[in-house]
Amino acid sequence: MKAKDFSYDYIIIGSGFGGAVSALRLTEKGYKVLVIEKGRFFKPEDFPKTNWQLRKWLWWPALKMFGIQKVSFFKHISVLSGVGVGGGSLVYANTLPKPKSPFFNQGTWQGLEPWERVLEPYYKKAYQMLGAAENPYLAPADLALKKIAEKMNKPFKPVKVSIFFGPKNKQVSDPYFNGNGPKRSGCNFCGACMTGCRYNAKNSLDKNYLYLAQKKGARILAEHEVIDIIPLNKNGSKGYEVVFKKSTAYFAKKKQLKTKGVIFSGGVLGTVPLLLKLKKTNLPLLSDMVGKMVRTNNESLIFNTVYKGHLKGKMSEGIAIGSIMTYDENSHIEPVRYGKGSGIWGLLAVPTVHQSNFVLRSLTLLYKIIKYLPVRLKMLLFDDFAANSVVLLFMQHLDSTIQLKRNRWGIYTSQEKEGIKPTAFIPEALHFAHKFSKTIKAIPMVLFTESVSGIPSTAHILGGACMGQTDSEGVIDKNNKVFNYHNLYVFDGSMISANPGVNPSLSITAITEYGMSKIPPKTNAVHKK
């Protein structure tokens, strides 16, 4: 086909960390780029004041809820993910830790490159682009963690975060990109980062990569979802037709655009289901590894809700995540907070239980519910659950995997893969949560799906389109190119090929920067192809 027959050189599916980086770097290389995002554009005033404003906070299109937070339930895992222009950066906790060495030397990408050394300059570039800065304020929850860390002789430090710590609530000219970025305002430490920053302090992707990409000519089409990709010949060397429709309407007509290349950046729950569908239809040469090696970062999310003492009402102070403690060589712990008033999770929280046996777990849970009933009722009816709760995020780089598959009805469900599966009962996490709760006079609780069914929760689902030496080992090669197809790439959490054991956003950004460096600039010769 001739160049004039294509609407775009690249269509990017999703605007999270992978999609945003891709949009800027490809546009800088001279390519004509379209980003298709199923969520909405958000201005600071569009975010909910609390997560009780469900229509603004939750993504549930069937009920006309078009917020930034999506909650998905599967047989073996429940997942929190982000939706909107900026993807997960709108709802994440801004935290940018770099993984330890084991991450770079395990999983299906092991040995493809000396990753720790190769990616080092791209981590630095990611830090610069995301405006990384060390948290300057240790809030009460951080200080409580620091106190325990000192007693246990464990490493503790403030985290690097993607936040502008300028004059509080005062608008200033762009501080990051020589005036080419948007105006910004300094953080006021309200703790509401994860319901969307209403004060223009969070360095979400719409403030950096996506903002700059649009200035350079990239187009973003919000509120649309890609439903099909059709190669114009067997291996896609002649391009693709991308089929999409409105994501915020019950009845929407299909639209089509032709493009030379496609980049999957919809996150695990966007990219993997689409690839699974395409493998059975228009892209049969996709690897059989699609949907396999899905990881949860081996996480545990445990609420600690203060019911008395001097810390009561102070858990929302600070930024969403302000510090990190190294628990052991495999594990990290971070205290996570919501802003005042965002206590909807309190409706779903029940006391922690340890037993793996369902009957014993149910009896223990019933006993604890009765035991803490007066305190729980007071918390829900009279206290501010968010202002009194800190979530301990426990993460490990130890491997545990599941598999995403399609069933006969086209519904995507998680299936156990051979090996260790994720669990809601990580002994180290439970032990530390009880130690922490005693220190701050709190009740440790988890989502009812964990205590009742044993299903763990994660905010960092990864994998499903991992790297490999060949298509028998992975879905993409070491440069993120999909095996057996031309100009088809994956840049998002589904490419992550080992558990990082820390928040993955920085790594997704760095790996995408590296992958983009491997795509040559657009030239007349390339254009004519």
Q: Is the model's pLDDT at 324 over the cut of 70?
A: yes
Q: What is the pLDDT of residues 101-131, one digit of tens each?
A: 999 999 999 999 999 999 999 999 999 999 9
β-pairing, 65-66 vs 240-246, is unpaired
Residue 354, pLDDT score:
74
Answer whether 214's CB lies under 8 Å from 224's CB. Answer: no
For residues 129 and 23, the answer to whether their CB atoms sit within 8 Å is no
Q: What is the CA radius of gyration of the chain?
A: 22
**pTM reported for the whole predicted model:** 0.93
* 460 annotated active-site: yes
> Who has greater pLDDT, 374 or 8?
8
**In this structure, are residues 512 and 501 in contact, taking their beta carbons and an 8 Å threshold?**
no
State how far the Cα of 98 lies from the Cα of 85, in Å rounded to an integer.
Answer: 25
- Residue 87, pLDDT > 80, answer yes
What phi, psi does 495 have (nearest 5°)? -80, -15
What pLDDT, on a 0 to 100 scale, did the predictor assign at position 348? 84
Are 353 and 363 a contacting pair, CB within 8 Å?
no
Interstrand relation of 349-351 and 442-447 (parallel, antiparallel or unpaired): antiparallel
Mean pLDDT of 369-398: 82
pLDDT score at 528: 36
pLDDT at 363: 83
Q: CB 412: neighbour CB atoms within 10 A?
A: 17
Question: Which tens digit of pLDDT belongs to each residue from 15-59?
Answer: 999 999 999 999 999 999 999 999 999 999 999 999 999 999 999
State both tokens at 529.
Answer: 């192809």
Q: How confident is the model at residue 337, as a pLDDT?
A: 96
Count of helices and strands (H, E) across the chain: 14, 26
Query: Is pLDDT above 70 for 217?
Result: yes
Q: What angle do CA 7, 11, 13 make, to 5 degrees?
A: 145
Adjacent-strand bridge partners of 46: none
Task: Please state the φ and ψ torsions of residue 473, each to the nearest 5 degrees.
Answer: -110, -25
For the chain, list the domains and their CATH numbers: 3-44+61-528 (3.50.50.60)
Confidence (pLDDT) at 3: 67
Length of the chain: 529
Cα–Cα distance between 409 and 493 in angstroms, integer?
A: 26
The per-residue DSSP string of 405-441 comes to EE-TTS-EEEEE-SSPPP-S--HHHHHHHHHHHHHHT
**Catalytic-labelled residue, pool 76, 332, 460, 527:** 460
Confidence of residue 309 (pLDDT cuts 50, 70, 90): confident
Query: Going by C-beta distance under 8 Å and a sequence separation of 6 or more, which residues neighbour residue 453?
Result: none
Chain position carrying tokens 């598959």? 405
Q: Could you tell me if 517 and 129 are in contact, meaning their C-beta atoms sit under 8 angstroms apart?
A: no
- Supply 71's token pair: 């909650």
CA dihedral 497, 499, 503, 509 (to 10 degrees): -20
pLDDT above 70 for 211: yes
Q: Is the pLDDT at 529 greater than 50, yes or no?
A: no
72 DSSP β-pair partners: 79
